[in-house]
Structure 1
Amino acid sequence: MRALRFTFLMVLSMALLGCGDEVKSPATHSSASPADPALAQIYSNSCQLCHANPAANAPLTGDRKAWEPRIQQGADTLLDHAINGYNAMPPMGQCVECTEDQFLQLIGFMADQPLPQ
């Protein structure tokens, strides 16, 4: 119930924040999608809501500058944040069926750069 309430509030706040002038970084790709169909479906269902919406305050897909400090923390930290949540990032990134490998692939895709090992 708590996760449902959080999701509803997140969607509502993004809808309200989304009203008005649209701000886009030239480095981001709001319509980008992973080449792998399974990852593309996960991205569309779980990641895109925040990582393609500037109002969500999440690092945007393809914005290498925003992702760089996160990437420097290492794959283990990024994976931990994806699984356990971090700040406004919900635990499991709204993908309760994702594997660790899928999370790492999605992070690499959104960051538009390879993850350090």
Structure 2
Amino acid sequence: MLATRTLLLSGTKPGLSWMESTVRRLCSAAALLALAGLFGGCGVDSKPAVPRTAATLTPANKALAQVYDSSCKLCHADPASGAPLTGDAPAWSPRIAQGVDTLLDHSINGYNGMPPMGMCMQCSEEEFLALISFMSGQQLQ
């Protein structure tokens, strides 16, 4: 009878005190919660990816990245500048539609807020086209 009463009170093995039984139950519950947390973390990541913004985009080509950082990024990564932002396809679309010759002319001779040579006095036409392709996200021909 005493063994039955101990089993009913403790919920575990006979001979354990109420405190020992409670500690065991709490440890078991904590272990189950930890296990559920591990499995609950599997699957699709609920955190959105860090957005790629004009300020974080950089050309893969190291030489082009250096030119972009020193000559283009100041305006094309700053929304306050009024320049089309790097990676902003809708802002670049009407400019791309004007054609490569117009884009090169505006890059070399300046246009509105765009300074002549885009602050890259050593850039060739090919480099300007590569930079525009990178910033617009569209391959130019």
TM-score by length of 1: 0.74
Taking every aligned residue pair, what percent have the same amino acid on both sides?
64
Tell me the C-alpha RMSD between the 2 structures: 1.3
Higher relative contact order (Cα pairs below 8 Å, separated by 6+ residues): 1
Number of corresponding residues: 91
How far is the alpha carbon of 1:29 from its aligned partner? 2.8
How far is the alpha carbon of 1:27 from its aligned partner? 7.7
The 3-state SS of whatever aligns with 1:45 is helix
How far is the alpha carbon of 1:57 from its aligned partner? 0.3
TM-score by length of 2: 0.62
> Is 1:89 aligned with 2:114?
yes
Contact 2:92–2:136, Cα closer than 8 Å, also in 1 = yes
The 3-state SS of whatever aligns with 2:59 is coil
The 3-state SS of whatever aligns with 1:66 is helix
Q: Computing the radius of gyration over CA atoms, which structure comes out larger, 1 or 2?
A: 2
Unaligned runs of 5+ in 1: 1-25
The structure 2 residue matched to 1:108, chosen from 108, 133, 137, is: 133
What are the within-5 Å matches in structure 2 for residues 1-117 of structure 1?
A: 28-115=53-140, 117=141
Structure-2 separation of matches of 1:59 and 1:51: 6
